[in-house]
Structures are given as structure tokens and as C-alpha cells.
């Protein structure tokens, strides 16, 4: 019925590339196969006990069961600002420069809804976490992509990045209003230095665009690498906001807690749109999130350590199985070039083969954009024993193609 009634926004969203791999995975599981699943970025452990205890305690209080504050309770916004002060020596005003969000994805999508006029252009590096570009499509804007350049150690080639950025600024019409950056990067794991942000802020001020920075993986860094914040740059608040999430650092993905801080005009727009759309997270979740940010951080170190060990086991065992991959410095992913003999078929077909023949599920790189082709993303969400099992399966699989 009503075939003539179209939903243009929904029609502009492509079929999820990952769905193809997912369907095969589910069918294999239904058939009783044991699939080792590296395909989702979904943390596999529980939230730390002291945070859960606080949630329970707070949920016992009747006064906490009503509508909450859409921009987040004051105590949580204060904890967010203190987190920035402690970690980056960045001073933020909890009233005007911070919003608590239902996960950083909700915050980002609603921010983009609030600030995008029809036809507005945002520059988004490719490959990308899909919603970074599709938020603009959903909001009636459009995306100018630019290739994300990085070396074999997944360090962004900063000079080339700025060249690509200038090219994108020249190519786009109308003039881009926004640039999205996400370092450490999903899916490529690419990292940047603070100098990169200094230059970026300079360019943004000259070319007059805002920067939306996502540091979801800020805590998941290895080998001495530390995540810089764009807000550490003097005057960055004039042109930038930054988002963070408790999903990864505290294993709280299902709780849906994140935040966005920085530029008053953008933060104000998000606060306003949220005040129309939602009544805030359940107060006990906000109270527990406050405890997460203010409390002991050894739980974060444990989680970081777990990913680092898994990364080491994966790189080492896959290498012995015949698949050489460079070590990422950050995130909960490994961004792996597909083995040479499969370059012809591309990342989607390779992922399907790996799933059906080696019983290992990964995400095809092409799902993250055209420059993700020839790579797959391996999420470090299976334990070390399962990673070693995957390596054994892959060894047999590769042998079949190499002998
Ligand atoms: C780069 C990046 N940003 C944001 C998110 C969303 O996190 P959440 O909405 O759970 O805060 C993810 C989740 O995988 C991510 O990879």
C-alpha cells in the first residue's frame, strides 16, 4: 500500500555492507558451527563492580525514578569537566560547555541534526565509522570525503592529510562547514600528535569551519602512546567540540553514556535540541557514570591491558599462521591488509571466505568507505584462547590457497 510514499532520508541510507557477513554468520551459528567473532566493536566484559554498585544504590531511591535533565545532571557535567582538567589541563564550564549524552553516537547524531542546514557540507576522512558521514546525510546535508593517509605504523601522514584537506576544501561546493576527525581512529586505528591538532585549528580558523573530534578510544592506547585532545590547543574551543564515551573505557557500552564538550555555540545547539527530544538518561545511570569518571581508574588500566594482550597475541599468532599485520598503537581493533592472494576478490568476498572456510568473522574494510578496500577490521573482543584458535583455523585456510 502507498507505494508512492517514499522516505527519502531512509532511502539515502545504503544497505549495511556488514549485513552480508552477519547473515552468513547467523546461518552458520544456527547450523551449530562455532564462529570466532571479531566483527563487532562491542566490548565483551562487564562494567567495574563499584560502578554497578552505585547504579543499584541509586536505583533504590524513589526520587531518582522521574524524568532527568536532558543535558545531564550537574554532578555528571562537573565530573566530565574535571576529567578534562585532570587529564588534559583543559578548563570547561559545566553549564555551557558540556552535555552528557546517551552514548557518544546519540550525542553526535543529534548535534549534527541541530547544526546542519539543508545542503551543508561536512568533510569526513575515508575510511570512517559509518555514522560520522551518515549523520550528515540523515540531517539533509552532504559529505565531501577525503582519503585518510597513514603509514605502515598507522600514524597519520600529517603533511598528506593537510594536502588532502585543502583539496577537499577546494573540491567541495558549497564551502564545507564541518570537518570530522576521530583519533585514535575507527576502523584504521590511526593516531595523530598534538601538533596535528595545532595545525588543524589554525586551518579551521582561516577557512572558517568547525571541527567535530571523536576520541572514543582515548584510553585504549599502547606502547607509550597517549591520545591528545584537540581542546589542548589554545583557542580550540573557538572552533571545536570533542566527544568521548564510557562505552569502551569502562565496558559500559549498553549503559549508553557519553558526552560532548567544547565550543559553546555547538554545545548550546545540542543542549537545545536534546531539551526538545529527550528527558535525559535514567538518573541512576548518570550517578554511576559520575562515579566512573571521578573514581579509581585502575579498572580502565585493566581494560586497556586486556586489549593490549589480545593485540599482541593476535598479531603474533596470525603472523605465525602466515598473515603479517602491523601492530596498532590504539583502539580495540586491528586494521589488517588482506593477504596478497585475495586482493583480487576484495575485502567483502575475502571476509565471506574467511567466515565460511576458517570460521572467523571480521568486518570487510569496504564497509567503512572506498579507501577501506583491501583491509578488514578485526575487533579484539574474543579472549586469547579463541584468538589462538582463530590463528590455527586461518593457518589451515591459508595453506589451502598457498600450496
Ligand atoms: C569512533 C566511535 N565513536 C563513537 C562510537 C559510539 O560509542 P557510544 O555511542 O557507545 O558512545 C563508537 C562505537 O563503536 C566508535 O567506534
b/e per residue 358-385 (b: at least 16 CB within 10 A): bbbbbbbbbbbbebbbbbbbbbbbbeee
Instruction: Please give the DSSP secondary-structure letter assigned to residue 174.
Output: S
Q: Are 220 and 186 in contact (CB under 8 A)?
A: no
pLDDT of residue 158: 97
Pick the closest to residue 200 from 212, 189, 190, 188 (CA basis). Answer: 212
pLDDT of residue 180: 98
**Which structural domain, as residue segments, surrounds residue 143?**
49-294
> Could you tell me if residue 3 is inside a domain?
no
> Could you tell me if residue 1 is inside a domain?
no
> Could you tell me if residue 197 is inside a domain?
yes
Report the 3 state secondary structure along 76-138: HHHHHHHHHHHHHCCCCCCCCCEEEECHHHHHHHHHHHHHCCCCCEEEEEECCCHHHHHHHHH
> Could you tell me if residue 109 is inside a domain?
yes
pLDDT one-digit tens code per residue, 317-336: 999 999 999 999 999 999 99
Cβ atoms within 10 Å of 275's Cβ, excluding its own: 13
> Could you tell me if residue 289 is inside a domain?
yes
**226 shares its domain with 144:** yes
The mean pLDDT value for 156-169 works out to 98
**93 shares its domain with 201:** yes
> Could you tell me if residue 2 is inside a domain?
no
Angle at 103 between CA 98 and CA 104, to 5 degrees: 60
Q: Which one of 294, 325, 343 terminates a domain?
A: 294
**224 shares its domain with 256:** yes
279 CA distance to ligand 1 middle (Å) = 22
Q: At residue 157, does pLDDT exceed 90?
A: yes
Indicate if ligand 1 lies below 6 Å from the C-beta of 250. Answer: no
Rg (Cα) of the chain, in Å, rounded?
Answer: 21
What is the domain-level CATH number for residue 397? Answer: 3.90.1150.10
**105 shares its domain with 254:** yes
Indicate the pLDDT class of residue 359, thresholds 50, 70 and 90.
very high
Q: Ligand 1 atom 13: the closest Cα is on which residue? A: 41
Q: Are 329 and 338 in contact (CB under 8 A)?
A: no
pLDDT of residue 14: 84
Residues 6+ apart with CB under 8 A from 78: 94
The mean pLDDT value for 125-149 works out to 97
Q: Which one of 294, 314, 343 terminates a domain?
A: 294
Q: Ligand 1 atom 12: the closest Cα is on which residue? A: 216
> Could you tell me if residue 386 is inside a domain?
yes
**172 shares its domain with 219:** yes
215 CA distance to ligand 1 middle (Å) = 9
Between 280 and 14, the higher pLDDT residue? 280
Q: Are 311 and 222 in contact (CB under 8 A)?
A: yes
pLDDT of residue 308: 98
Indicate if ligand 1 lies below 6 Å from the C-beta of 41. Answer: yes
Strands 258-262 and 240-245: antiparallel
The mean pLDDT value for 18-46 works out to 91
What is the domain-level CATH number for residue 202? Answer: 3.40.640.10
> Could you tell me if residue 397 is inside a domain?
yes
**39 shares its domain with 54:** no
**191 shares its domain with 250:** yes
pLDDT of residue 352: 95
**272 shares its domain with 303:** no
pTM of the model: 0.97
Q: How many domains does the chain have?
A: 2
Indicate if ligand 1 lies below 6 Å from the C-beta of 216. Answer: yes
Report the 3 state secondary structure along 63-80: HHHCCCCCCCCHHHHHHH
Amino acid at each position: 500500500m502507498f507505494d508512492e510514499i517514499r522516505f527519502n532520508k531512509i532511502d539515502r541510507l545504503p544497505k549495511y555492507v556488514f549485513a552480508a557477513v552477519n547473515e552468513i554468520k547467523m546461518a552458520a551459528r544456527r547450523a551449530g558451527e562455532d564462529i570466532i567473532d571479531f566483527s563487532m566493536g562491542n566490548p565483551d566484559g562487564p562494567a567495574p563492580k563499584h560502578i554497578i554498585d552505585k547504579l543499584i544504590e541509586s536505583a533504590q531511591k524513589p526520587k531518582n525514578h522521574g524524568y532527568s535533565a536532558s543535558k545531564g545532571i550537574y554532578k555528571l557535567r562537573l565530573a566530565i569537566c574535571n576529567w578534562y582538567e585532570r587529564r588534559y589541563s583543559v578548563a570547561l564550564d559545566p553549564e555551557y560547555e558540556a552535555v552528557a549524552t546517551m552514548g557518544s553516537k546519540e550525542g553526535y547524531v543529534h548535534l549534527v541534526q541541530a547544526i546542519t542546514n539543508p545542503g551543508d557540507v561536512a568533510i569526513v576522512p575515508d575510511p570512517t565509522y559509518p555514522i560520522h558521514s551518515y549523520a550528515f546525510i540523515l540531517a539533509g546535508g552532504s559529505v565531501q570525503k577525503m582519503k585518510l593517509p597513514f603509514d605502515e605504523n598507522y600514524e597519520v601522514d600529517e603533511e598528506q592529510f593537510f594536502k588532502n584537506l585543502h583539496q577537499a576544501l577546494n573540491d567541495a561546493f558549497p564551502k564545507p562547514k564541518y570537518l570530522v576527525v576521530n583519533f585514535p581512529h575507527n576502523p584504521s586505528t590511526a593516531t595523530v600528535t598534538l601538533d596535528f591538532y595545532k595545525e588543524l585549528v589554525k586551518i579551521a580558523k582561516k577557512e572558517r569551519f568547525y571541527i567535530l573530534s571523536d576520541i572514543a578510544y582515548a584510553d585504549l592506547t599502547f606502547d607509550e602512546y597517549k591520545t591528545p585532545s584537540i581542546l589542548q590547543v589554545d583557542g580550540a574551543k573557538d572552533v571545536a567540540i570533542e566527544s568521548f564515551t564510557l562505552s569502551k573505557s569502562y565496558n559500559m557500552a549498553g549503559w549508553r553514556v557519553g558526552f560532548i564538550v567544547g565550543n559553546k555555540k555547538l554545545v548550546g545547539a545540542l543542549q537545545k535540541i536534546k531539551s526538545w527530544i529527550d528527558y535525559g538518561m535514567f538518573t541512576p545511570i548518570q550517578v554511576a557514570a559520575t562515579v566512573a569518571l571521578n573514581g579509581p581508574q585502575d579498572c580502565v588500566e585493566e581494560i586497556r591491558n586486556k586489549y593490549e594482550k589480545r593485540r599482541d597475541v593476535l598479531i603474533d599468532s596470525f603472523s605465525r599462521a602466515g598473515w603479517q599485520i602491523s601492530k596498532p598503537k590504539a583502539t580495540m581493533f586491528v586494521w589488517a591488509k588482506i593477504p596478497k592472494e585475495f586482493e583480487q576478490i576484495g575485502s567483502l568476498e575475502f571476509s565471506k571466505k574467511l567466515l565460511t572456510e576458517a570460521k572467523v568473522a571480521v568486518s570487510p574494510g569496504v564497509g567503512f568507505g572506498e579507501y577501506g578496500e583491501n583491509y578488514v577490521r578485526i575487533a579484539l573482543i574474543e579472549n586469547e584462547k579463541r584468538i589462538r584458535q582463530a590463528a590455527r583455523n586461518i593457518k589451515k585456510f591459508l595453506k589451502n590457497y598457498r600450496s
